[in-house]
Amino acid sequence: MKKFEDKFFNILINRYGFYIKDYFSQSNNENKWVAISENDNYAYCVIVCDENNANVLYTEAYEQLSKMFTKPVAINVVIATKRDEISQEYLGQYNKLIYSLTEERAVYSGDGCKPLLKVCEYMGEKEKKHKNRFKDNKLTYILIGLNILIYILTAIMSRSLLDSNTYVLIRLGAKVNELINHGQVWRLLTCAFLHGGIMHLAFNMYALKIIGSEVEYVFGRKKYLIIYLMAALGGSIFSYIFSPYSISVGASGAIFGLLGAMLIFGIKHRDKIGKSYMMNIVQVIIINIIIGVSLSNIDNFAHLGGLIVGGVTALIVKSNLEKSFK
């Protein structure tokens, strides 16, 4: 349901000029998002939920949104369900739209939700066009594939699948200050594509898939690649300056740069995307910093450098969604 909610709200924001606010739901004990479009006369709002507590969420949202606006508030509820049978409770209700997640279409719409049928139709068309997930996140998968291929080479040369031999890592391009001082500056970039072990690779590639997909969508492939490479380079430079005796490898500096880019995007558009989005990014960054400080053999300066350079680069290149948020 969360995935459907994200897609539905993205279309409302990017195609129809809505913006996002969040409110606290006591029944769910969590923050919920609401998409809002307003004019001089009223505020038109949309919430997405499952069918278990749609009426309760509507009441909660109405009470809180009525306090936010001095103008009248109209709320439509989009109910996402996997059930084959439509709940009779919501049939005939003016402000309800029921979307079948299994059939991927709207199966019921009250008169007040008729405009939202266009969103459902557009979502269906977009799903058909982008059925191949590789096309959506092409660069992210290419980067993951490149890292995996390089790790396979490292494993063969190390004669171990689990752990990489230090001398092999140095031979393939790890960050070693003494060698960089002797002219091997390319190590500042190549070290970002090497990993010290299978778990190191797995954690980084999982993070890259989650965060990279977001950055690729928000910034586009070219700008995403610029942010990734600049953050990788920035992380290595910070490591070179502040950890001169470490032999450093890993994509985490670049990944922290992607987090920095999304943080900048969230700050610039905090009024449009809501507090929850911002808090999620900040929490991920804080958790990763705590993990880095708590464990040994973690190059925290590379993380910090990547975060800063990725954020600064994002400020310069700007996201592809800038016009949509104006």
Cα atoms in the 13 Å half-sphere on the side-chain side of 5: 15
Copy the structure tokens of residue 194.
């090497």
Among residues 252, 269, 276, 294, the one annotated as catalytic is 252
Measured distance CA(149)–CA(155) in Å, rounded: 10
CA quadruple 267, 270, 272, 275: dihedral positive or negative? positive
Active-site residue, 248 included: no
Task: Name every residue whose Cβ is closer than 8 Å to that of residue 270 and which is 6 or more positions away in sequence.
Answer: 278
Helix, strand, coil percent content, the chain, rounded in steps of 5: 60, 15, 25
Q: What phi and psi values does residue 253 have, to the nearest 5 degrees? A: -60, -45
Copy the structure tokens of residue 283.
């929490």
Beta 43-49 vs 73-81: how paired, if at all? parallel
Choose among 310, 207, 292: nearest CA to 248.
Answer: 292
Active-site residue, 200 included: no
16: exposed, middle or buried (C-beta count within 10 Å: 0-12, 13-18, 19+)?
middle
Copy the structure tokens of residue 153.
């080479």
Catalytic residue IDs:
252, 303
